[in-house]
Structure 1
């Protein structure tokens, strides 16, 4: 790798990733607290950019908190893009910084349309799912600017079929589809059964990916840890899904969202986002450590007739 490690850029990228997780918490609280339309104007809140705290009662507080954290992410992503532009030699990574900024802008517009269109036209689901793509872009920047990524790494040979890259990509795609199904159920556009069935499909792809990593690259510490963490995060998410649905059933007749249901559904939503992000990380690890077939063929010494 010819790129140089920039500690400040990487640390700020990691901070931006953490802030994005905080935004997932804030957004999930809005949905779980039924506060999506507590503030009915946009982009201002009750006619002001920063309304007085005395006017933020009940759901208003959660909705404005979501907007405040989202505004912070917009600023931080823009700063990150500027840092990449000034410090980063990889042109494609500078472009990724710009794409992340554009993604945050689009996500903000989608969020505004959710309010303006009064939750219609599948906009809440689109808003929730597009957030995962923005998260993946920011996470990618953090990975690409890390010291681990730019350092020389021993390359591993993949003797299995399909390639580990294909396996990891399919795993990430299936998890993203499950995110869509979950968002559809959470925003009352889907029944529960597609999401429940999707969880079993994700169980299959996670197991397939983990087994492939263990059998083909058992000696790799990075891929070994990735395999264990993938299992652990999915296991926690599966259990949280059961608990979240149980809490919905047991509090269905409550006059307002109950704290147990709120926090279980919020944690389930956030861990789901982390699971998808981690599946993307597994894809990146595979591409960094395992050369693709065409790359191996290009670097192999020519065979001459004796």
Structure 2
């Protein structure tokens, strides 16, 4: 196994990358909610510059005609939207740097724990794909389907890196007693994760509908948006009640029956994210979708998925270790029995 210092470097770098991607999901949500996606109408530069302008006076007098010829009609410089999108891109570049460092620190794992290396490699490749997809979002003038795909790919990247993180700490799960949890805990946890993914997909459909309504109203009259949403919004809202109930039972089960520190901490975090999602969801419904609510709602949904995945992987590793220990004990007993004969 790699040395403790090597393991520590990998863990902190991978954790930083995961935190950065969650931050990128939040900033991406802010970009989407504020309509700042075309704040930079070209890529990778912004208004043809590596550092965007701070005022319209720094652009050519005919810049609107230039971008209209490129297929971006009605391009108007807005310093707030431009710098919001530019900071989103800078954070994306920083994410690329941290995932590359994570890949480098995963190299010592290639022989003993090759999955950690390959998870890191997949994450690195997908971040490159994510960057290309971001350029296509700009090239297609914010095509809603590509924006949704862009967001879902971020969830996949987070999932891959969480898998690498959990795998790197596998030695810490050997003492977890799975048999202390309720009999139905593991299968119901799988159900909760699948149901959560379905909820996330429905949420993307709601988000696309909100985008269309927001654009048609020029991001005005927010109090009318909910009334114009399709049926999937109602399903998404009331389906959440069943999800909270199921996850609540799972959280209570861990707190009552498990003495594993990591499982308890992850379960408490999951409960906090669920409560936060409920609060933000209520604000969206009662306060007519305030601007802060959509990015936070997306971030919390992503954190719920990431925390559920972490719990599932810890349980799986603990279950694998239990089976391995049982097999070794059985072989040892068989050997003693044979020796006795």
* 3-state SS of 2:268 partner: helix
Instruction: Report if aligned partners of 2:173, 2:317 keep a CA contact under 8 Å in 1.
Output: no
Query: Is 1:68 paired with 2:108?
Result: no
| Corresponding residue number in structure 1 for 2:281 | 241
* 3-state SS of 1:42 partner: coil
How many aligned residue pairs are there? 290
Distance in 2, matches of 1:109 and 1:205, equals 38
| Corresponding residue number in structure 1 for 2:135 | 112
More deviation, 195-204/270-279:
195-204
More deviation, 117-126/49-58:
49-58
| Corresponding residue number in structure 2 for 1:57 | 79
Distance 1:243 1:36, change over 3 A: same
Deviations 1:228-260 (A, max 9, x none): 3322221121111111233335xxxxxxxxxxx
* 3-state SS of 2:270 partner: helix
Distance in 2, matches of 1:54 and 1:138, equals 39
Structure with more of its chain in helix, by fraction: 2
Distance in 2, matches of 1:247 and 1:111, equals 31
Q: How far off its partner does 1:214 sit?
A: 4.8
Query: Is 1:123 paired with 2:124?
Result: no
Correspondent of 2:311 among 268, 282, 290: 282
| Corresponding residue number in structure 2 for 1:253 | none
| Corresponding residue number in structure 2 for 1:255 | none
- After superposition, the CA RMSD in angstroms is 2.9
More deviation, 88-97/293-302:
293-302
Q: How far off its partner does 1:84 sit?
A: 0.9
**Gapped regions of structure 2 (runs ≥ 5):** 57-77, 211-229
Instruction: Report if aligned partners of 1:240, 1:267 keep a CA contact under 8 Å in 2.
Output: yes
Distance 1:58 1:228, change over 3 A: closer
Structure with larger Rg: 2
Correspondent of 1:80 among 79, 102, 105: 102
**Gapped regions of structure 1 (runs ≥ 5):** 250-260
Instruction: Report if aligned partners of 1:3, 1:90 keep a CA contact under 8 Å in 2.
Output: no
Distance in 1, matches of 2:109 and 2:322, equals 32
* 3-state SS of 1:43 partner: coil
| Corresponding residue number in structure 2 for 1:258 | none
Q: How far off its partner does 1:299 sit?
A: 4.0
